[in-house]
Structure 1
């Protein structure tokens, strides 16, 4: 069964009502975002572990026909359903809208995993109200897994509520990051300090790491050199699961953030790690 069919209508609480004005609009965005996530899988998965044409972009990162086709599909669906909304995607840039809402999409987060046959790549979909992420999806097509969150409504994993876990000290924390090679210069010194303090480190996973954090399987994720389409969908999922996600200065994430991201399941761990990362 498509995951969208298993997403229940959310109970409406105060904070999101202020953004969406009425429950019908919230329901429309919820239903639509999950439906296009289901459909984008049908575009991506036929390419997975099959012959691919791989190109290198200007930043040397790989891109495939699956990335491009999935983003074009998502952009077209959004513009047909919500023509007033803006759309910003990794492969085709920014189309400005006339409303206060902007969709930020990454068709395949973790393209290197995708082309390597590893199943931990994901599709990221964020909805921003002005500059604040208010809805987020991490969809993992190869594993049939999805995290969904809307501001004020909690985080769902395949339709069931999830929460981060408690951890009172950075020294007790389990930490995830994609690769230590993404930390350069002064950032590498900060990485070494955090990695030398936590209980354990695990590498790889891209957006999947943040879903695991939201579900209580890790305590800390921190990364550098991310783009808005890499991190904006993650913010509602972490926050609505009870965690914290900011830049390395402790500021909320937005389209204009630096790309230095830290997410924690427990505020104590977040503040302790920020003490190191702020230096």
Structure 2
């Protein structure tokens, strides 16, 4: 009988190789004077670096894992089956375009809709995080140079550090008043945003991270890093994993309180 953890080790190594290739492309175009930026139909920006990364990673996966499906942010889904790679070539494109170094490539492998491998690579910060199912969460420059990470043990909202992305999404989601109340009650709040919120959570530097409007490619890699670090990651309804609407992430001890405060439809502003 084959060892599933050995198979995941091979997949994790591949994800790191994919991240290495992505880092090379993104760093070569970061702050480039001829960076080409266009607007997608939803008016969010996409750069030539976004498309180049996704194309390169899809080519490698086509050779290394030809039977696996691929879901990416910039291109149509390919393949079908229980194994699916999920790619966000640049999470934080608005930062990338403006020369802010807080952006990352997100790479995940999902089996039967459950993330089993995740790599988050932020080369402009000289940081990388990764996890595999049952294997724990780590940060470092490579698999051979890694430190384990773990969420905090803060148990009360009033003692917690909360990270978020922006207020606009909360207003349009109908959860604006509840979120504002949460901000007021938390010990400390900062809008670190995007992948950075979840990696800081996994390291124990913050205790809560929330975003109401996310897609699968935004969440898949981040979710397994958080859960393997000992935290919880759910959608807005409390369903585990990255397959629903939005993300509530916590150190675990705060999660039930978070869900009780920010249930969809419970905004008391009306």
Fold shared per TM-score above 0.5: yes
Aligned to 1:95: 78
The 5-angstrom pairing of residues 75-90 of structure 1 reads 75-90=58-73
Counterpart position of 1:263: 249
Tell me the distance in 1 between the aligned counterparts of 2:227 and 2:197.
15
Aligned to 1:160: 147
Q: Residue 134 of structure 2 aligns to a residue in which SS?
A: coil
Structure 2: segments with no counterpart, 5+ residues: 141-145
The counterpart of 1:189, out of the listed 165, 177, 180, is 177
Pair 1:235 & 2:235 matched? no
Matches within 5 A, 1:4-19: none
Structure 2 SS opposite 1:207: helix
Secondary structure class of the residue paired with 1:245: strand
- Post-superposition Cα deviations, 1:207-242, rounded to whole Å, max 9, x if no partner, equal 011111101100000001101100111111000101
Q: Which of these residues, 68, 82, 105, is aligned with residue 51 of structure 2?
A: 68
Report the counterpart of residue 112 of structure 1 in structure 2. Answer: 94
Query: 1:212 aligns to what SS in structure 2?
Result: helix
Post-superposition offset of 1:156: 0.5
Q: Distance in 1 between matches of 2:242 and 2:191?
A: 25
Q: Which residue number in structure 2 is paired with residue 272 of structure 1?
A: 257
SS at match of 2:54: helix
Q: Distance in 2 between matches of 1:31 and 1:138?
A: 13
TM-score (norm 2): 0.91
Q: Give CA-to-partner distance per residue, 1:113-162, whole Å, 9 cap, x none.
A: 10111111000011101111111111101122111000101001012101
Contact 1:138 1:208 (8 Å CA) reproduced:
no
> After superposition, where does 1:97-246 map in structure 2 within 5 Å?
97-98=80-81, 100-158=82-140, 159-185=146-172, 186-246=174-234
Give the superposition deviation at 1:23. 4.3
Any conservation in 1 of the 2:8–2:117 contact (CA below 8 Å)?
no
RMSD: 1.5
- More moved, 101-110 vs 267-276: 267-276
Please say if residues 83 and 97 of structure 1, whose CA atoms lie closer than 8 Å, have aligned partners that are also in contact: no
Deviation of 1:190 (Å): 2.4
Partner Cα distance (2:165, 2:187) in 1: 17
Whether contact under 8 Å (2:166, 2:193) holds in the other structure is no
TM score, norm. by length of structure 1: 0.88
Tell me how far 1:33 sits from its aligned partner: 0.6
**1:37 equivalenced with 2:19 (yes/no):** yes
- SS of the residue corresponding to residue 229 of structure 1 reads helix
Unaligned runs of 5+ in 1: 1-16
| Segments of 4+ moved more than 3 angstroms | 20-24
2:143 is aligned to none
Aligned partners of 2:7 and 2:125: how far apart in 1?
30
> Is the 8 Å Cα contact of residues 212 and 236 (structure 2) preserved in structure 1?
no
Separation in structure 2 between the aligned mates of residue 78 and residue 126 of structure 1, nearest angstrom? 12
Helix, strand or coil at the partner of 1:235:
helix
CA distance in 2, matches of 1:161, 1:117: 30
